[in-house]
């Protein structure tokens, strides 16, 4: 008997929806600096001749808060997927895709705290 893609429990369905939202937020974080550069002529990552510096509202508020929100969604989707897999005995393989954002955040945090910077 083949495993279904969609989970059969409500917890599993909630995990899939959270992971989809996490994927959208991570993609949005990647696109936001490019959109600022194209539409507002603002260089977010580096200073380029003819471009303005990154605005204070972006560097102080938008970038950190959106990153925290996206990482929170990644952690929440992974935890809910683990709950659906372990406690709910759901075996839809879409739940394993919902674990990928959790592993992304864990990989990022382990690398941030345990690997020394290359100076």
Instruction: For the chain, 119 residues long, give each residue's pLDDT as a single digit of tens.
Output: 567 778 888 888 899 999 888 888 888 777 777 676 666 666 665 666 665 666 677 777 777 888 888 889 999 999 999 999 898 888 888 888 888 889 988 998 888 888 877 76
- pTM comes to 0.75
Identify which of 63, 62, 33 has the alpha carbon closest to the alpha carbon of residue 48.
Answer: 33
DSSP 8-state assignment for residue 61: I
Q: d(Cα 39, Cα 59) in Å, to the nearest integer?
A: 17
H/E segment holding residue 65: helix 63-86
Calculate ∠ Cα 6-72-46, nearest 5°: 115
């Amino acid at each position: 008997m083949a495993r279904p893609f969609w989970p059969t429990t409500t917890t599993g369905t909630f995990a899939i929806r959270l992971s989809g939202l996490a994927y959208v937020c991570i993609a949005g974080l990647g696109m936001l600096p490019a959109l600022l550069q194209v539409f507002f002529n603002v260089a977010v990552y580096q200073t380029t001749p003819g471009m303005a510096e990154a605005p204070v509202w972006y560097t102080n508020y938008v970038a950190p808060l959106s990153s925290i929100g996206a990482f929170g969604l990644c952690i929440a989707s992974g935890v809910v997927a683990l709950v659906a897999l372990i406690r709910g005995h759901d075996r839809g393989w879409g739940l394993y895709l919902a674990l990928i954002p959790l592993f992304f955040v864990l990989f990022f945090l382990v690398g941030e705290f345990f690997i020394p910077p290359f100076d």
